[in-house]
Structure 1
Amino acid sequence: MILFHGSDKQISAPTFGAGNPRNDYGLGFYCTESIDLAKEWACQKNTDGFANQYELDSQDLNILDLSQDNFSLLHWLTILMPNRIFAPKSPIGHQNLQFLTEHFKLDYQSYDVIYGYRANDSYFSFASDFLENIIPIQSLASSMKLGSLGLQIVLKSPKAFSRLKFIKAEKAEKEKYYMQYKERDTTARKAYRESLRNLKPSESIYLIDLVRNPELLNGLSL
């Protein structure tokens, strides 16, 4: 696999155990298969940066692919919420989070690599709204698919780090990629608002509805 990591510096030898533990999937090395997306991440503070390119030998690695049909947004939420520190604002929010944890929690820490959705601040706020029953699950799902924030690949284990080979670092100019980063976030928020406008109230399913009747999940595309 060819991977890219956006950063304000060149990283020829990523260090296992370094970084921010409060990212989407906890402590790990976050990459993408898109060089343009990596350059946007590198310039998100309106500074120049680098798209560091690597080759990952994925043979025999234990990979959790959350994009597969046997997983849903609800599995993703059980990983996102504890790592990004979601604090429910209401008793129903607590109840909803407990329901997700009991029914969809994954042992994601046992994997070498995780492949799944990326949640910037916009997406985290959308997910928080869903957990508080402010928006239905259809709005969250359509926002994730239409917002184009992209999928990410996260290296989680020493074994995965040992399989990563640095190739090169390519410059990312803030004049171009910071604007693309902002535009992608704007697109996500626009898709979110559009999904709320277009959804029929009679078709809306909120998390509290799933708590009361889990069978409603049948037939939903998440």
Structure 2
Amino acid sequence: MTLEKIKKHEYIYHGSLETVEHPKILQPNRKLDYGEGFYATTSETQAEEWAGRRIRENNNTLGYVNVYEFDAEKISKFKSLIFTEPTEEWAKFVMANRTQKDFTHDYDIVYGPVANDRVYFQFGLYESGAISVDTLIRELKTYKLVDQYLFHTEKALTTLHFVESKKIIL
């Protein structure tokens, strides 16, 4: 992905059970696409879905979509891994993060497609050997995938500036 595409996104969003004015690197309770850190997306709808999922999982009725200005001009100063679309490298990176117990990486920021539950079914077929990586990528390219950012280090979080939080009520 070129930086020009990233620069078009002034705001990014994070779905949560709370207002997050000061993002932190947190240890997740499950394996995630790009590892531990702070996740955000350029899709406000995706952030609403993330907040809704957290609300339901925790039997709450209220969540938030946190809005940040992202200083994309600074991304070139960080060790970044950027995927413009599903590729073999992306699939292997996601699989390593989701399945290898001690896998870690040293990127500050990772950007690419979300491997959501629907997409992860295809990953399951790939992992079991039922489909090849080429078939996996071909299948995933037929989906309308939203994007996500992982801010993996404290240094990377300095690119974010909190704007507001919007209540999500289920």
TM-score normalised by structure 1 residue count: 0.59
Equivalences for residues 1-222 of structure 1 within 5 A: 1-16=10-25, 18-20=26-28, 22-45=31-54, 46=56, 47-58=61-72, 59=74, 60-67=77-84, 73-85=87-99, 109-137=105-133, 139-174=135-170
Change (3 A) 1:29 1:54: same
Counterpart secondary structure, 2:105: helix
Larger radius of gyration between Structure 1 and Structure 2 = 1
Shift of the alpha carbon at 1:148? 2.4
CA distance in 2, matches of 1:79, 1:138: 15
1:59-109: CA deviation from partner (whole Å, max 9, x where unpaired): 1233211117xxx5221122222321269xxxxxxxxxxxxxxxxxxxx82
CA distance in 2, matches of 1:134, 1:122: 17
CA distance in 1, matches of 2:17, 2:139: 29
Counterpart secondary structure, 2:18: coil
Task: Please tell me whether the aligned partners of residues 29 and 154 of structure 1 are also in contact (alpha carbons under 8 angstroms).
Answer: yes
Unaligned runs of 5+ residues in structure 2 are 1-9
- Larger helix proportion of the pair: 1
TM-score normalised by structure 2 residue count: 0.75
Counterpart secondary structure, 2:69: strand
Shift of the alpha carbon at 1:42? 0.6
Runs (4 or more) in structure 1 with deviation over 6 Å come to none
1:95-136: CA deviation from partner (whole Å, max 9, x where unpaired): xxxxxxxxxxxxx82322111121123322311212333124
Task: Please tell me whether the aligned partners of residues 86 and 128 of structure 1 are also in contact (alpha carbons under 8 angstroms).
Answer: no
Change (3 A) 1:83 1:55: same
What is the aligned-residue RMSD (CA, Å)?
2.6
Which structure carries more relative contact order (alpha carbon 8 Å, separation 6+)?
A: 2
Task: Please tell me whether the aligned partners of residues 118 and 152 of structure 1 are also in contact (alpha carbons under 8 angstroms).
Answer: yes
Shift of the alpha carbon at 1:10? 1.1
